[in-house]
């Protein structure tokens, strides 16, 4: 069975895609976790956690590692997969757009059911949760776009790397 030049080119593209996906996922996950860590230290975050359950702060920190990696992987995948179809020129704006879509989906899946299942109607806690998630997702999007831009600038400035 012969291997054509296009097969090796496709394999190289897939390997490059996976490498970028891995790197963007790690960076985005770390930024998501750091944003969660910082916001969880705020006094209003304690009231927010108490309003919905008896989460401990350690549970929030550990859970945000996995959630951050999951969200970061999804945002990075769709960012890389549909990069050319996102209607802006800046890599950072493109990633912010994708992370904003992920934010809206997360609000619909996580925050809305929490408000609806609560014994007491606490709409202000819903908005606090949306604010916290907005900070996390926008920082995640900014980090992914920034790292992607840095990766491409490095490749463009070093022609022997191509």
Q: What is the pLDDT of residue 58?
A: 61
pLDDT tens digits for range 78-119: 999 999 999 889 999 999 999 999 999 999 998 888 777 776
Helices and strands in the chain, H and E counts: 6, 0
Q: What is the pLDDT of residue 101?
A: 96
Which segment of 119-123, 129-133, 149-153 scores lowest on mean pLDDT?
119-123
Residue 28: pLDDT band with limits 50, 70, 90: very high
Q: What is the pLDDT of residue 108?
A: 93
Query: Are 45 and 39 a contacting pair, CB within 8 Å?
Result: yes
pLDDT tens digits for range 32-84: 999 988 988 888 887 777 776 656 666 667 788 898 999 999 999 999 999 99
Q: What is the pLDDT of residue 4?
A: 58
Rounded CA-CA distance 56/50 in Å is 9
The CA-based angle 112-115-116, given to 5 degrees, is 85
Listed residue (145, 29, 136, 137) closest to 86, CA to CA: 145
CA distances (Å), origin 92, targets 11, 12, 98: 27, 25, 10
What global pTM score does this model have?
0.82
Please compute the mean of the pLDDT values over residues 137-154 and round it to a whole number. 92
Q: What is the pLDDT of residue 138?
A: 96
């Amino acid at each position: 069975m012969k291997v054509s030049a296009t097969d090796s080119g496709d394999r190289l593209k897939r390997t490059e895609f996976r490498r970028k996906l891995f790197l963007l996922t790690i960076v985005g996950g770390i930024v998501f976790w750091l944003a969660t860590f910082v916001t969880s230290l705020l006094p209003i975050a304690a009231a927010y956690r108490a309003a919905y359950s008896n989460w401990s702060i350690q549970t929030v920190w550990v859970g945000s590692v996995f959630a951050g990696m999951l969200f970061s992987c999804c945002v990075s995948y769709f960012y890389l997969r549909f990069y050319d179809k996102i209607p802006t020129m800046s890599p950072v704006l493109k990633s912010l757009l994708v992370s904003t879509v992920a934010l809206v989906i997360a609000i619909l899946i996580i925050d809305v059911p929490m408000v609806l299942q609560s014994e007491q109607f606490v709409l202000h806690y819903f908005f606090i949760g949306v604010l916290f998630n907005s900070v996390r997702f926008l920082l995640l999007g900014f980090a992914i776009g920034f790292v992607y831009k840095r990766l491409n600038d490095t490749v463009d400035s070093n022609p022997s790397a191509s």
